[in-house]
Amino acid sequence: MSALPVTALYAGLLGLWLLALAYEVVRRRWRYDVSLGSGGEPELERAIRAHGNAAETIPIGLILLGLAEGMGTPGWILHVAGLSLLTGRVLHGVHFVTYPKPMRLRFWGMVLTVGTIAALSVGLVGHSALRLMVGA
């Protein structure tokens, strides 16, 4: 059995989402015949940023989720955090690759992502501080 099965599940799902976003970048590169940068194409720039933003936020979210799982956080909390991170990243990415979509997709995507990272961070600091204080 995997040591971190909940984290592994969300890592796999988020990895697939990251691949889908990378595909959207490649598809637009072919469409506009651009091999480096965005070539001044707004649609390609949005796809690049959707992928880049996911690549920037997913790793820390998964690291925090894995640490929380390793410290014994209840499964339901891990699933809430994992689903929140996944949903946030999908909403954010969909806004960029299907633009123009309502700004609320991007807004809620970031709220869910940043909220999850913040909640996991605060929870880990608190849990670690308690363990250090009791010497466990």
pLDDT score recorded for residue 8:
97
Average pLDDT of the residues in 87-102: 88
Tokens of 120: 């996991």
- Which burial class, exposed, middle or buried, applies to 37 when counting CB atoms under 10 A from its CB (0-12, 13-18, 19+)? exposed
Nearest to 77 by CA among 67, 92, 88: 67
Write the pLDDT tens digit of every residue in 5-61: 999 999 999 999 999 999 999 999 999 989 998 888 999 999 999 999 999 999 999
Mean of all residue pLDDT scores within the chain:
93
CA distance linking residue 104 with residue 30, whole number of Å? 29
Residues ≥6 apart with Cβ < 8 Å to 31: 44
Of the chain, the percentage scoring pLDDT greater than 70 comes to: 97
So what's the pLDDT on residue 40?
87
For 6, 29, 134, the CA distances from 131, given in Å and listed in that order, are: 23, 50, 5
Q: For residues 105 and 94, is the Cβ–Cβ distance under 8 A?
A: yes
Residue 51, amino acid: H
The SS3 of residue 1 is: coil
Pick the CATH number of 5-134 from 1.20.120.550, 2.40.160.10, 2.30.30.280, 1.10.3720.10: 1.20.120.550
pTM here is 0.91
User: Would you state the pLDDT for residue 135?
Assistant: 79
Q: For residues 96 and 22, is the Cβ–Cβ distance under 8 A?
A: no
Q: Give me the residue spans of the domains in the chain.
A: 5-134
Report the number of secondary-structure helices (H) and strands (E) in the chain.
Answer: 4, 0
